[in-house]
Structure 1
């Protein structure tokens, strides 16, 4: 399941280091080529909103297998694209279906014993983050072997094999949805944000954490192509291997959460996220400081994400896919905002401005975590019931503790 999530999410990042090659072959200008990335983000966001909640309505193995098989087909559309329009359509549909990864994550949580939930989330999310970080490295390497289309062919085959493996090894797991229609399911996803304060706090923390993460990885290319570094694009792609070191610590954070330290992991993660920007800032002229900052930031981001998922998945077991939909939509909106602001801030303030932006997002995670502890803790101590879905107060207090 960890490998499956990584392969699914990777498909949305293959094009980023290949835009120049794609543009030259298909006769696209730089602006049109850049739309490939924008369309991928938009398609993924729609999938999070429209498809992920179906996991609470449909039999989950069938949904996951169907989405992975569809992703394989849509990757073939991109691999055989004869013009920019076909490539954009293939990219959008691939991104839409690739949210199968976000069906697999709560699926894994549902299969795990409560005492092992943190470790399971950490293991599965390690695969997802590695897919995100290493996609650029893989696409650059494969493009040198057989052109930019090669990575799409390879990933299509791998996604098809993954669909078969999920069908073979995953158990059937019913959704049910409590008799909800599809529109009712989507409406209830929004209602969960209204009635679950922990979900709101954690959605904000997750959004700001990914925004900080996106600021770093968006701006690194701008920094490394300039003096004193002057790196090639292939060398920059290899930096993803450094970030992967941080991703591999996810299971450690998960085990700590299983031992009752979920709030300590979150707090330490937010503080490390903020502190990492001091090293990143010093990395303007020091490779050692830059690498240290990248590793610590990735480690901290993964700790915040893992502990946050442990909290929100404990809230409403029967609505995990809707909770995941609401959280991940906020999460990726934060990432998109971080990437968009990075380009603007770089033009105005260079690397120093980018570091201030990233540190500001990171400081926001600290503030939200402190406010969450104060408000949720106060509500738990007073034991004042709040209107909402049945069982929310008991489950929220459990997750908060």
Structure 2
């Protein structure tokens, strides 16, 4: 029986992806409260995000490749339930070490998002994989958006720990819905051992030039993304602004631009415009730090900067995934795992650097850091573009001869 990606399955994968990725981002408006509750210094706050991303990276290496070996439905159900347990652990953590451990496990399980993106791409018909990836990734963007908004509101009402207890209950409900609704569809058969599968994933970095290129973009754009979202809570919660958790979470509404970018970027990639989309988005990403730097003078300017950054990051992210997965559904899980390791590395390093830079030099230095990372990504794209143009010119001259 041939299965296709129906609207209902797409919606289920998008909603579950939204909740799964939300577990990674719940902490961002809560960093100050977590640190104060557990007696942690300001320059160490970034390790909350760093621990989650470390777990995420490990999951990408060890769990996501299983999507090419095992029944993805069973794998997803198991991750949902283990994630719920980890979230309960976060809410019950009474010291810094236990909190970081529970967050690392939360990140480890959150890689189910990549399995769902890979599953959507595998089920989509030829020529519509980019659109499928874009639709499911739109759910991811909404999850990031709602995570900040909901966690801020719940924290103001019942404390930061309540956020994780409520999230655990939602994941259990989603597991029940997925158990009843998602068809049992085995992934493309990879006829080898788990060890060989992991080795094959690592070998992708050596043999796949497109993965290496898009992986560099992934490291840089998510480092810039994490620099903003990990550090912004500090100037927003400090005097003279002194915003509440809920008010800080409202800034995530600017991320609606990311939803638009995710949907449109997938279609542009299907039309062969992925490289051009990447270049324009990286220009926007670099410029976004200019209005963001004025958080103390104008919240309107700050919101504009956040909107520009979210739009640019999601446009490049979806383009990366669409180009990597096009026509390669049989190895989709391994490709997504390898690519998202780059995402996790960038996010973790960006968070740790941002909190350290802010503690020593303030918000202006954080914006300088973010702009430098964004400009590095743009320069890398320009270098690749120049190389491609030179090769095309050489081929053209050879044909004329």
What is the TM-score of this pair, normalised by structure 2? 0.85
**Aligned match of 2:287:** 275
Shift of 1:260: 2.7
1:293 matches 2:295: no
Shift of 1:368: 2.1
How far residue 20 of structure 1 moved from its aligned partner, in angstroms, is 5.8
Report the equivalent of 2:270. Answer: 258
Matches within 5 A, 1:2-401: 2-18=14-30, 28-30=38-40, 34=45, 36-81=48-93, 87-226=99-238, 229-314=241-326, 316-375=328-387
Q: How many residues align?
A: 381
**Could you tell me how far 1:206 is from its partner in structure 2?**
1.2
Alignment gaps of 5+ in structure 2: 1-12, 396-401
What does the per-residue CA deviation read over 1:365-392, in whole Å, with 9 as the maximum and x for residues that have no partner?
Answer: 2222233334456668878xxxxxxxxx
2-structure distance, mates of 1:23, 1:286: 27
Question: How far is 1:185 from its partner?
Answer: 0.9
TM-score by length of 1: 0.85
Task: Tell me the distance in 2 between the aligned counterparts of 1:81 and 1:228.
Answer: 32
Deviations 1:221-240 (A, max 9, x none): 23324565343343222211
The offset of 1:220, in angstroms, is 1.8
* Aligned partners of 1:20 and 1:30 also within 8 Å: no
Q: In structure 2, what is the equivalent of residue 396 of structure 1?
A: none
Structure number with higher relative contact order (C-alpha < 8 Å, ≥ 6 residues apart): 2
Deviation string 1:315-364 (CA, Å, 9 cap, x unpaired) is 63221111111110111111211222223333444333222221111112
Distance (whole Å) between structure 2 residues aligned to residue 64 and residue 242 of structure 1: 30
Distance 1:344 1:275 in 2: 23
- After alignment, is 196-205 or 359-368 more displaced? 359-368
Q: 1:314 to 1:42 in 2, by over 3 A?
A: same
> 2: distance between equivalents of 1:291 and 1:37?
22
Is the contact made by 1:198 and 1:372 (CA closer than 8 Å) also made in structure 2? no
- Assess if the C-alpha contact under 8 Å between 1:137 and 1:238 holds in 2: yes
Pairwise CA distance, 1:285: 1.7
Q: Per-residue deviation at 1:165? A: 2.3
In structure 1, the residue corresponding to 2:362 is in which secondary structure? helix
Matched-pair contact (CA < 8 Å) for 2:28–2:233 = no
> RMSD of the alignment, in Å?
2.7
Contact 1:13 1:135 in 2 (8 A): yes
Partners of 2:169 and 2:85 in 1: CA distance: 9
Unaligned stretches of 5+ residues in structure 1? 384-401
